[in-house]
Structures are given as C-alpha cells and as structure tokens.
Structure 1
Amino acid sequence: MSGVQDDEEAMAAAWGDALAAGQPESPDGAVADAARELNQAEIDSLLGFDDGPGVADERSGIQRIISSGLVSYERLPMLEIVFDRLVRIMSTSLRNFTSDNVEVSIDGIVSLRFGDYLNSVPLPAMLAVFKADRWDNYGLLVVDSALIYSVVDVLLGGRRGTAAMRIEGRPYTTIERTLVERLIHVVLADLTAAFEPLSPVTFEFERLEVNPRFAAISRLGNATVLAKLRVDMEDRGGRIDLLLPYATLEPVRELLLQQFMGEKFGRDRIWETHLAEELRHTQVTLDVVLDEQTLPLSGVTGLRPGDRIALGAAPGAPVRLRCGEVALFEGQLGRRGNNLAVRIERELSRSQEEG
C-alpha cells in the first residue's frame, strides 16, 4: 500500500517538474500547459487591444468580430464627395462669418456605433441636435470646447495671435451659447447646400445640449457615420464632429451607392439640349385613317381593278391621325385649295387610343 502511495507522489512530482520546466507533454500524452493562466499581454491580444508598434491598423479577437458587424462608410462612395463639398463651402462661409482666415479640413470619416461615440465625446462640449426635414430623421453636430472659445473670442473682437482663454469648471454662458448657435446655423446651411445636388433636403436646428445623455437621437447599438472636421483660424481653432445615423441616410442610400458623378451628378446639360433640338427637327409621317374594315382573305384576293369598297364613315365623321400604330389626334377632314386637309380637334390619350 505504501508502495502505491510512493508511486503516486513520484508521478505528481514528475508532473510538477514538467510544468516548471515548460515540457509540452505529460507522461500520458496530455498537454501539460492546459491549466496555465494567461498574462495581461495575452489577454489584450485576444481581445484586440494590443497597442504595440506596427499593429495600430490590425485588429484581432473579439474587437474584430464586433467591428465586422458595422457597415463601412466606404460602401457609400458618394457620401465622401458630399463631405468634400461641405468642406469647400464651409471654408468660404466661415470666413464671411468670422471675418478671419478660416481653413476647414477633414480629419477622418469612420463608422461606429452611436453608443460608443457618446461615451467618447470630449467634455465640455456643445451637442446640437438637428433634423433632416425631408428624410424625417435626426443628426448630431458636436462642437468641442476649443472651437467654442475660439469662435467667441473671434466674434467678440479678440486679438489675433493670442490663444483663446479657457475657463474650467463653469457652465457655458448665454452669450457663448448664442454665438455657438449662430455658428451651428451656418454649418447646417452649408450641409444643406452640400446635399442639394444629390437630393433636396433641409437640415433644421432643434436644440442645443451640453450633456450627451440628452442628445440621444438613435439607439446605442445603431451604426452611424462620423465625419471629423478640423477648423483652423490661424493659431486658434477646434473640431466639429458631424454624426449621421445610417437610418437618416436610408432615403438616399441608392444615390449614395453611386461610384462616379459629375458636377451635376451625372446630368449632361449640353447633350440634353442637343437631343431636344434634334427631336424638334425630326420628320414623322402621319396617316389619316378614314375607316377600318375586316375582310376575309378570299374577299381580299378576289378584288379586281375597278371594284369599290364602301366606307362605313358618314360624311363629316371625325378621322384619326396615326404615326405608325399609335393614334395621336382626332380631327375633321376638309379641303384647302386643291388639297385635302385635316383640322386637328383634340389629342388622344392612351386610354382613348386603346378604346
């Protein structure tokens, strides 16, 4: 009995030595490191949070699985063109608004969940909720604190070359909210103009919030498109985040899927004008139908020169004008000089033509 216990203790000691030495297999072939605990680096790699050099753009693990459920904005190529147009329009309108040298650029366009963005909003900030009138849905415009103080400083006559003074630990004043609201109205007007060639829509300002919880315009798990705009006013400036849920863009999804567009989004005015002018000069042949009869084939083959076919139309009965097989007009037959003439009385609709 004691010999059996000695053998078991010896086997347990051998297994312990194998685990300590990093041997891959135990005496019976089982994997020895099955009970080994993962360290923090391995856990981060599994979850996809490895921020080491050279892997910034590579995602793995659970994070990659979650992100695969989102729709990438690159599937809507026309949306990027709209945002580029927005940047050009904003650069001009903000120069007129601030009477200063303003440059607007796009820092990036990403797709993410609405809840993830609300949790990452840098506070303090102002969140403007706006409505897309014809699309019957909402969007979000976020102005960070750096741009808020810069706009207030510029509009109130602050000196150039000095950074805007930022006061921590206090809410925004009524003057600051009013000035930022004017800025938001300018941006929304530019956004309306950017979408105008694609689809007529009006973005209307609804309310201004400072707490992200009160700016919930969509469910937390819904996918959204985030455009990060950078506004530079010499040594001052900040950032504007434009957030559009995919539900808001759904009415124009087919238009946003288009790959290539011109200045007029695919319409060629020169070709349209040329085609219209050529159609007006096109010659067509019109046939005046006095009467129609159905005859047997034997009666048609039995016709000889000099035979007469009696028409069923009474004198003064209306006649039809046809172009091929399509009846176009109805009129009266008459004479003008030595020629027969037809005076058009009315135009035939499709239902009348079939009747």
Structure 2
Amino acid sequence: MSDERPADERHVPVLLQRCLDLLAPALAAEGAVMVDSTLGMGGHTEGVLTAFPHVRVIGLDRDTQALELAGRRLAPFGDRFVGVHAVYDAIRDVLDELGIPAVQGVLMDLGVSSLQLDEVDRGFSYAQDAPLDMRMDATRGRTAADVLNTYEERDLARILRVYGEERFAPRIARNVVAARAKAPLQRTGELVDIIRASIPAANRKVGGHPAKRTFQALRIEVNGELVTLERAVPESIEALSVGGRIVVEAYQSLEDRIVKQAFAAGATTSAPPDLPVVPETHTPYLRLVTRGAEEADDAELALNPRSASVRLRAAERLRPTPSHMLPRTNEPSRPTQPARTSGKNRRRTA
C-alpha cells in the first residue's frame, strides 16, 4: 500500500531550526554548497534552500523513491538542488563528478526514513504485515528474507545481539532456523510471531514493541548501515572546507557512538601526552560545536514524535586534516548512478 501524498505533507524534518542555526555560519558565504547526505523526502534541504537563498544543495539518497518525491518537492528551487542516487560514503566520488573540490556544509539524518516506515510494502515496520524486504535501495542487494533464510544460526544471533542489543537473540535465532526448516520466511508478520514466541511474557510488557530491536538489527544488516557510516563520517569531514560544518542526527546508540568517536578524533590532539609542546601537525582539526549530543525538547516532541530518540552533534573544520590522521579506505565507495536531466532540476537517478 503506497501513500500518494506529496512529500511536504508526509515528512516533518527533525530539529530543522536547530540544524539551520548550526549550519548558518558555514553557509553564510556567497556560493556556499551543502551536501544533504540523507535526502529522504527533502525536508531539511527545503529548509536550507529557503533560509539561505544563495546556497546550493547536493542531495544524496540510496532510495530512488525518495529521490523522486524530493525532486518534486524541490523543483521550485531549480538548479540550486541536485539529487544523486548514491550512498553517503560515496560523497567524495559525487563531488568529484560534479567538479566541487570542497563544500561548506554536510548534513546527515541517519537511520530509517519516514518514507520507508510509512510505505508498508517496504517491510520496515513491525506494525503491519508486509514482505520481508527492508532494503533502503529497493533496486539492489539482499533482502531481510535473504538474511533470515540463509544465515547460520550463530550469525543471526550475533546480528540481533550486536545491532539490536536484543537480550533474547539466541532464542530468536534458534526459532527462526526452526521455522525456516518448514518453509522459508517471507512476511514480517511471520517474523513478529516468532519474536513474540521467543520472548517471555513478562519481558514483552516492557521496552516497547518486542520486535523493535530485531527489526532494527535486520535493517542495519541488510543495508550495511554501520560499516557505511564508519566510512562516511570521516569522508564527509574531508569534504569540508576550512570553516565548514558537519551536523549529524543519530537515532540509536551504535550510530551515535561512531559519530562521537570520529568527531572526538578530530577535536583532540594526536600528540603523545608527555610532549611539552604540541607540534602544529598534531593540533585538532575539528572544533565541537555542540556540547555532547543534543536531544529534542518538549516543543519538538510535540511537533514531531519521531524526534524522541534523536541525538544531534555538530563540528567545524579548523584546518586541513594532517596526513597521519587521514581516513583509510579499505574498499571502494559504491558508484553513483548515471546522470539524467529532468527540467531545471538535474537529478542523478537509477
């Protein structure tokens, strides 16, 4: 079942004004460019393009449906917006293709999007029965059904324990393997029933829906979210010009930890602690703009209940990253898709 409403009626961007305030000093210069690394339905980008009439935004998303909806929403801004079908760890490849050496802002709004949750057939929600898909890019890759039906029991348990912090991971994994021996799992409703049967009744009454942690873990595994984020945050920092800012909204502890560690590495001297004078090459190249992680206040929660778990962090580039601190990329970024022009709004889609 598909929601036919336009994007601006379906999506309220989380902490929009706070994001704009944090990005404002970096986007003040004429000709400033920002990358919205998780475009979604375009709410944050619309806010930026409206608040800063001189700014251009490059919007990345692996979800072709999101690119289509955001493209319609942002069409009035003409060539100030460019949408690209890409995962955010490919930020450097995208900017190289567009001939942009550095940008003044990067915004990342992590996790599953409103679009993906609201589209029942995508299989992200445990609240309604749907195919076990969970791919953010529905054009490629393994599905949640593939993971559940082919992974060994110990690997399923590890995924649920690590990515979902699920206490009953071994029991759920064991019951999944037993169920698939009779017939392959195909529907989210089947999985929810297995989870319910795997968790003691007393534990099902606390901590929200009993399937929440398992669905989170499967989504992370299907989309490679954490390994991608580990590459994407350092690469995004490297895309910033001096004075540029990066703002990241995370929604669960594993994501937030990766962001926190990357920011801390840049905001801390890399010199040994016993040196009497810190060499310039070891001074911090980032400044933390937020004190720890900021959360949504009561007004934001009333406006947007999905902001309940948000953790926002921001940092500013002080100088180029010293060579010994540059990110090491162990595998190539995922390629962007071929360009296709549509009216004034150039969009790269599959």
Please, what TM-score do these two structures have when normalized by structure 2? 0.20
| Higher helix residue share | 2
